[in-house]
Amino acid sequence: MAKNVTLSKDDRWLVIQKMVERHGLASHHIRSYDEFIEHGLRKIIQAHPIIDAEVGFFLDFRVALDNDSEEMVRIEPERRSLTFEYDGSPVYDITPLECRIRRITYGIPIYVWVALKRVKYDGNRRTSEIVKKDRVLLTIMPLMVGSKYDPYMSIYIDKDPEYMAEIGEDPMDLGGYMIINGSERAVVPREEGVRGRILTERLDGVSAEAKKYAVQAWLVSPGTYRNRVTMYMGRDDLRLYVRFTRAGTKEPIPAVLLLRALGFTMRDIVMAASPEEIEGKSTRGSLISTVLLLTAQGVKPEFLRTQEDALFALAYYMDNFRIPITQRNKDKVIQEVKRRLNLYLLPHLGTDESSWAMKGYYLSRMIRRVVLIYFGFVTPEDRDHLKNKRLKMVGDFLEELFAIAWRSFIEETKRKIVNWVAGYRDITDIKRVLRTDRLSDTVMSALATGHWPTGVTGVTEILGRLNHLDNISHLRRVKNILTRTSAEAKRGKVEARDLHPTHFGRFCPNETPEGELCGLTKHLSLMAYVTADIPPEDKDRMINDLLPKIGLNREPIKIGWSPYPNTPVFVDGLYIGHVKDPNKFVQDFRNLRRKGEIPWQISIKYWENYREIHISTDRGRILRPLILVKDGKPMLKKEHIKKLESGEWDFDDLLKNGIIEMLDPEEEEDAYIALNEEELTPEHTHMEIAPASMLGVSAGLIPFANHDQSPKVTHETSMAKQAMSIPRPNYRVRPETSTYILSYPQRPLVTTETAEISGASKRGFGQNAIVAILSYEGYNIEDALIINKASIERGFMRGFLYRIYEVEERRYIANRTDVIRVPTDEVPGARHKVREKLSEDGIAWPGVDIYEDEIIVG
């Protein structure tokens, strides 16, 4: 045991402070938003770059600006806020404060290059020539406060308190929200199942599916559309069945038939699913071969003769198949089946026939898992393990929204072009035919209401501003996908509410609402870090340059071949090659990452029971930092602490030098973690920075929370967000519908490290009171309080509620207008008693007491 402690409590909390300074408490929203503006917009337009209404002209968003450059989608977001007045005139450089006061949206212009092309025919060959190119305003995208595109409050620029006071902002504002029509709205991340990875479960219960099938494995393709493939094992007949998007809904497809249609023979399927059975090295006999033979016996022999026969037979299992399935139409039927296999069966692996070998390999992996789980050789996946979940962030929601808005924009623009050419024959101005108003309306209405076109509601919420803690807590909230479904579903899945071991250090174990959303709404722990996508060039460099040096063989999948006895390697669920020695490969990978050659956000894990290595680079994983341990001693030393104190190093330097490591829930399965330095043994691989960082910000404010009863801690995390304080120093210049202000807020006498790091103690919550517990003639029953009259007279707990009432002077048709003034006798109900508190301008006198049913504005 390591007896001599080298790191003090202050040293460890300094590391946490540096992490919060470097990565912020709300920066996961900002990173996600910036990635959407940088890559997401381009990706969506790149997928559908042409608007062709077939009138002799078409619009192409892939533009070459000069002869040397290639044709590509060119998006140019401008780092200047922009809005339009009611008469349509543009107003630049408008501050967030002005947007709140004037009830307008804080946004930046997104410009895009577009080319108008004329169609020409050279014989039968269709060509096109560019008529003109133009840079057009595509939309005003609501801006996330704190984004790198934010001209005033970007978290990437140093802002001193004087500057923040000048623009009327709170120096402690975290950003991470948008200002839509003057109100601040935050996007709450949702937990989603991981895409691109095979998940499994044993079916039990009373559903029709559970009565028929014993085990299922499924995979959801990444991307906008939820293309799902599910493999089942029959409960009674032990046969394998498949369903995928638009196929097998009424009657599931026998797995052997689908794989035969993809070009696999029976031997090829066994080779991909269980190669050790063919090599004669299986310890389980020919288990998978037997199940496959059983499945084949349930299919008509003529369906399995050739690949063509299997493709034709698949048509019987397809949904909404419009072509009559007859021998006369055989070619048409096969073409349609091929089209559906390309587009709806695992489309992320490819959308042409060259990807069929890979699709067959993935289906074979699903077969292997389902059979081994049924016979008890491996256990099914734990659905609540965080490795099987991702957080759907603001960038993902915006990508989904913009993709839908873009498709409706294309359809509306096509209609406009047809009408324009019918009336004017020629298109002279590109801007006149683009329905950019439609695009902006779709995006704006969804963000303003929180109703997404996909049917999901409550995506954006009004940001909590009761006090500083309420604000932090709202920006670190996470919802479970179940919160949007029916009341029955909310009551049903108990496991979804339970605390899972992988939540340690990622979700606060105490901060959750009481009542029906208990355990479904969670909050991130103090040191939880949510990943964004790795830049594509870093990912390519890793796969093509670094991994082959440590043993990766980039051999592609072929029909009738398997990587066995080597171990296949997957990046975000996609097969990239195989390795001979999996344990050495994983260790070499980690060594490269600790040297800073591989980005620290990337994780790796070797799953022995499946014989697969998985590398994760995708967004939405929750990482947490741990101190690396070597030979029973922490890698973090006093000299590193001194570098942090002097400002020579920041938190990221600890990651690049292999002193601290960020682990995701999957890789943490390989770690042996000590809570304290005293517990270290030579077997330990990591050590906690500070065990108290497992709590969220709200629970971290409670002194001695470890001595409290657990439900009371949960209770207090909710109540701390309702404490009165001075919520923001700019409350005089910045109106809110209602603002609660405590006249004399005090800093708590007993504070915690979390309170200092989060800035909560700089604001003061409530007041330090002297409390006595005693009996007093029966007035002390239950929750009764007796308060000293003298202390109240001296301002104890004195608070105000400021409320704003707005009145607009509107213009109506026939030149009728509203006028603010003292109502005359003709106005119904304008009695003298009602009007007596109004001054000459029709607005109540300042300082006058107003009671219920009295007029404030005439």
Q: What is the 3-class SS of 335-375, one letter each residue?
A: HHHHHHHHHHCCHHHCCCHHHHHHHHHHHHHHHHHHHHHHC
CB 433 within 8 A of CB 427: yes
Residue 629 amino acid letter: V
Tell me which residue has tokens 């092309």: 117
- Token pair, residue 291, equals 């199940």
| Helix/strand/coil for 487 | helix
pLDDT, mean of residues 577-596: 93
Q: How confident is the model at residue 283 (pLDDT cuts 50, 70, 90)?
A: confident
Q: What is the pLDDT of residue 831?
A: 63
Range with the poorest average pLDDT among 218-222, 489-493, 569-573: 489-493
Query: Which pLDDT tens digit goes with each residue over 772-802?
Result: 887 778 776 777 888 889 999 999 999 998 8
Q: How confident is the model at residue 3 (pLDDT cuts 50, 70, 90)?
A: low
Indicate if the pLDDT at residue 625 is higher than 90: yes
Burial of 345 (0-12, 13-18, 19+ CB in 10 A): buried
Alpha helices in 804-858 (DSSP H): 832-835
CB 144 within 8 A of CB 441: no
Distance, in Å, from the CA atom of 13 to the CA atom of 31, rounded to the nearest integer, reads 25
What percentage of the chain exceeds 70 in pLDDT? 97
Tell me which residue has tokens 């007896």: 3
Q: What is the pLDDT of residue 112?
A: 92
Q: What is the pLDDT of residue 68?
A: 67
Q: How confident is the model at residue 728 (pLDDT cuts 50, 70, 90)?
A: confident
Q: How confident is the model at residue 830 (pLDDT cuts 50, 70, 90)?
A: low
Phi-psi region of 169 (alpha: psi -120 to 50; beta: other; left: phi over 0): beta
Neighbours of 245 (CB within 10 A): 19
Indicate if the pLDDT at residue 626 is higher than 70: yes
- Token pair, residue 690, equals 């500070």
190-193 and 389-392 beta bridge pairing: antiparallel
- Token pair, residue 789, equals 């009259």
Distance, in Å, from the CA atom of 605 to the CA atom of 613, rounded to the nearest integer, reads 6
Neighbours of 479 (CB within 10 A): 20
Indicate if the pLDDT at residue 484 is higher than 90: no
Q: Which residue has the higher pLDDT, 819 or 686?
A: 686
pLDDT, mean of residues 671-699: 92
Q: Which residue has the higher pLDDT, 158 or 522?
A: 522
| Angstrom distances, CA of residue 257 to CA of 14, 234, 288 | 61, 16, 16
Residue 786 amino acid letter: I
Q: What is the pLDDT of residue 833?
A: 61
Q: Which helix (H) or strand (E) holds 215?
A: strand 213-220
| Angstrom distances, CA of residue 269 to CA of 260, 292, 697 | 9, 9, 52
Q: Is the dihedral of CA 727, 733, 736, 740 positive or negative?
A: positive
Tell me which residue has tokens 């330097």: 653
Indicate if the pLDDT at residue 167 is higher than 70: yes
Distance, in Å, from the CA atom of 143 to the CA atom of 301, rounded to the nearest integer, reads 61
pLDDT, mean of residues 592-604: 93
Indicate if the pLDDT at residue 491 is higher than 60: no
Indicate if the pLDDT at residue 621 is higher than 90: yes
Q: How confident is the model at residue 281 (pLDDT cuts 50, 70, 90)?
A: confident
Neighbours of 83 (CB within 10 A): 17
- Token pair, residue 65, equals 């600006």
| Helix/strand/coil for 276 | helix
- Angle at CA of residue 492, ends 490 and 497, nearest 5°: 65
Q: What is the pLDDT of residue 251?
A: 87
Distance, in Å, from the CA atom of 201 to the CA atom of 210, rounded to the nearest integer, reads 11
User: Read out DSSP for 417-470?
Assistant: HHHHHHHHSS---HHHH--HHHHHHHHHHHHHH---TTS---SEEEPP-SSHHH
CB 259 within 8 A of CB 269: yes
Q: How confident is the model at residue 829 (pLDDT cuts 50, 70, 90)?
A: low
Distance, in Å, from the CA atom of 356 to the CA atom of 396, rounded to the nearest integer, reads 29
Q: Could you say which DSSP state residue 842 is in? A: S
* pTM greater than 0.75: yes
- Token pair, residue 738, equals 């209602």
CB 25 within 8 A of CB 390: no
| Helix/strand/coil for 80 | coil
Indicate if the pLDDT at residue 815 is higher than 50: yes
What percentage of the chain exceeds 90 in pLDDT? 46
List the domains of the chain with CATH numbers: 9-16+530-550+572-694 (no CATH), 26-189+393-475 (no CATH), 199-389 (3.90.1110.10), 723-797 (no CATH), 805-858 (no CATH)
CB 623 within 8 A of CB 592: no
Q: Is the dihedral of CA 124, 129, 131, 134 positive or negative?
A: positive
Query: Which pLDDT tens digit goes with each residue over 331-376?
Result: 888 999 999 999 899 999 988 899 999 999 999 999 999 999 999 9
Q: What is the pLDDT of residue 2?
A: 44
Q: How confident is the model at residue 481 (pLDDT cuts 50, 70, 90)?
A: confident
Query: Which pLDDT tens digit goes with each residue over 34-56?
Result: 999 999 999 999 888 988 888 88
pLDDT, mean of residues 815-830: 75
Q: Which residues pair with 51 in a beta bridge?
A: 59
Q: How far is CA 4 from the centre of its chain?
A: 43
| Helix/strand/coil for 207 | coil
Long-range pairs for 758-762 at CB < 8 Å and ≥24 separation? Answer: 758/20, 758/25, 758/469, 758/472, 758/526, 758/697, 758/700, 758/701, 759/172, 759/468, 760/468, 760/469, 760/472, 760/697, 760/701, 762/172
Q: What is the pLDDT of residue 286?
A: 83
The mean predicted confidence, pLDDT, of the chain is: 88
- Angle at CA of residue 830, ends 828 and 831, nearest 5°: 125
Distance, in Å, from the CA atom of 453 to the CA atom of 440, rounded to the nearest integer, reads 14
- Angle at CA of residue 765, ends 762 and 770, nearest 5°: 120
Distance, in Å, from the CA atom of 489 to the CA atom of 497, rounded to the nearest integer, reads 12
Indicate if the pLDDT at residue 1 is higher than 50: no
Question: Nearest to residue 277, comparing CAs of 269, 265, 285?
Answer: 285
Distance, in Å, from the CA atom of 558 to the CA atom of 238, rounded to the nearest integer, reads 28
Question: Nearest to residue 50, comparing CAs of 573, 369, 407, 570?
Answer: 407
**Radius of gyration (C-alpha) of the chain in whole angstroms:** 32
Q: Which helix (H) or strand (E) holds 98?
A: helix 96-102
